[in-house]
Amino acid sequence: MRKKVDSYLGFAAKSRNLISGYHTCLNSIKQKKLKLLILSEDLSENTINKLMKLSEKNGIPVRIYGKSVELSKVTGNRGRGVFGITDKNFADIILTEIDE
């Protein structure tokens, strides 16, 4: 399961359907461009709560998955713990795999 999710995240990054970073994802949530928000487990509680509330308000699913170091390696973005998927198909596939 974990390898599949990592692969899908890598594909999303290569196809430019993945955005990363707190401010980038925050702006995309407000513009309703995100289909899925992925937060790493090691983010601060305040950051997680803030992004979860905003996502919930805008009807965007949120999942907490993996450590920021692992996710950064998979997606090719260093030092990031907040990731957004902008494609509905990628979002659905990743949600299905994480929820299994």
The topology under which CATH files domain 2-99 is 60s Ribosomal Protein L30; Chain: A; (3.30.1330)
Amino acid 1 reads M
pLDDT, one tens digit for every residue, the chain (100 residues): 578 888 898 899 899 999 999 999 999 998 989 999 999 999 999 999 999 999 999 999 999 988 988 888 888 888 888 999 999 999 999 999 988 8
Structural domain boundaries in the chain: 2-99
- Considering only CA atoms, which of 93, 15, 14 is closest in space to residue 38? 93
What would the pLDDT profile of 35-55 be if each residue is shown by its tens digit?
A: 999 999 999 999 999 999 999
Contact 16, 47 (CB under 8 A): no
For position 73, what pLDDT does the model report?
85
What DSSP letter does each residue of 36-92 carry, written as one string? EEEE-TTS-HHHHHHHHHHHHHTT--EEE-S-HHHHHHHHT-TT--EEEE--HHHHH
